[in-house]
Amino acid sequence: MNLKSLKTYVNMFTDENECLRGNVCGNGTCTNVEGGFECSCDEGFAPGPMQVCEDVNECQEMGNQCAFRCHNVPGSFRCICPYGYALAADGRHCQDIDECQENFGVCEGGECVNTEGGVICECPEGYILSQNGMKCIDVRQELCYDGVRQGKKLSLCTFAT
Ligand SMILES: [Ca+2]
Ligand SMILES: [Ca+2]
């Protein structure tokens, strides 16, 4: 028996298999080595001071990952967009949501105008914008009914007669 095989032979009895202690690597795979253990970390994780695989904070460590805001999550990260914007296919940039296309019936009674980061409802004359700005309310009707009731003939009410 040479020295190397003797060493291996001794280690078989002295080396503890730390991998059997439980989840010593965290988010990784444990490999027992002579006198210790090694962790092969899952994607998005890196060995910390105790060898344990810890989440990589991509938002801090990898610079500007996102066009707007970065949100670190275990094993990965997510980009977040401001209100009125949706995440682009690349997962990093933000693109305006075309509310006129996406919300059926938005700006009822008026005209929907998509804007960068928002939406505007343009109401025709005689209509007022609802409180949430997403609908045009016909105020002529009420006016005309009142007008008719009071025996007045309002020029703008011709549509109702
Ligand atoms: Ca992460
Ligand atoms: Ca928009």
Q: What is the CATH number of the domain that holds 84?
A: 2.10.25.10
Among left, alpha and beta (phi > 0; psi -120 to 50; other), residue 35 is left
Within-domain flag for 102:
no
* Residue percentage of the chain with pLDDT more than 90: 53
Give the predicted TM-score (pTM) of the model: 0.61
Q: What's the gap in Å between 60 CA and the centre of ligand 1?
A: 9
Range of the domain at 66: 57-96
Phi and psi at 37, nearest 5°, equal -150, 160
- As a whole number, mean pLDDT of residues 47-60 equals 92
Given a cut of 70, whether residue 4 has pLDDT beyond it is: no
Residue 48 shares a structural domain with residue 72? no
* Residue percentage of the chain with pLDDT more than 70: 80
- Counted domains in the chain: 3
Q: What's the gap in Å between 13 CA and the centre of ligand 1?
A: 39
Ligand 2 is a single-atom ion; what residues have CB below 5 A from it?
Answer: 96, 114
Query: Residue 123 — pLDDT band, cuts 50, 70, 90?
Result: very high
Within-domain flag for 8:
yes
Q: What's the gap in Å between 132 CA and the centre of ligand 2?
A: 15
Of all ligands present, the nearest one to the C-alpha of 100 is: 2
Within-domain flag for 137:
yes
Q: What's the gap in Å between 102 CA and the centre of ligand 2?
A: 10
Q: Report the pLDDT value the prediction gives residue 160, as an integer from 0 to 100.
A: 41
Given a cut of 60, whether residue 161 has pLDDT beyond it is: no
Of all ligands present, the nearest one to the C-alpha of 117 is: 2
Q: In angstroms, what is the C-alpha Rg of the chain?
A: 34
- Could you tell me if 59 and 70 are in contact, meaning their C-beta atoms sit under 8 angstroms apart? yes
Residue 13 shares a structural domain with residue 33? yes
